[in-house]
Amino acid sequence: MRFSIIGIVLCVMLSSCTFSVPQAESALRWVKSLSQDQEDDPKKAPIWLASVGESGAVLKPYTAGEFIVFANTDGDAITFDGWIVRSITGFDLKVPLSVSGKEGRRSFVSGQSVFDLRCGSWVWRQPTWKQRCSQGTSEILLDENGNIQKISMSLGEKLGFVTLRVAN
Q: How confident is the model at residue 9 (pLDDT cuts 50, 70, 90)?
A: very low
pLDDT digits (tens, 9 = 90+) for 79-105: 999 999 999 999 999 999 999 988 889
Whether 118 has a pLDDT exceeding 50, the answer reads: yes
Which residue ranges make up each domain of the chain?
2-166
Instruction: Tell me how far apart the alpha carbons of residues 132 and 104 are, in angstroms, rounded to a whole number.
Output: 10
Q: Are 116 and 107 in contact (CB under 8 A)?
A: yes
Question: How does the average pLDDT of the chain come out, rounded?
Answer: 80
β-pair type (136-142, 113-119): unpaired
E strand spans, the chain = 48-52, 55-64, 67-71, 77-80, 85-89, 97-100, 104-110, 113-119, 123-125, 128-133, 136-142, 148-154, 161-166
For domain 2-166, the CATH class is mainly beta
pLDDT for the residue 97 = 94
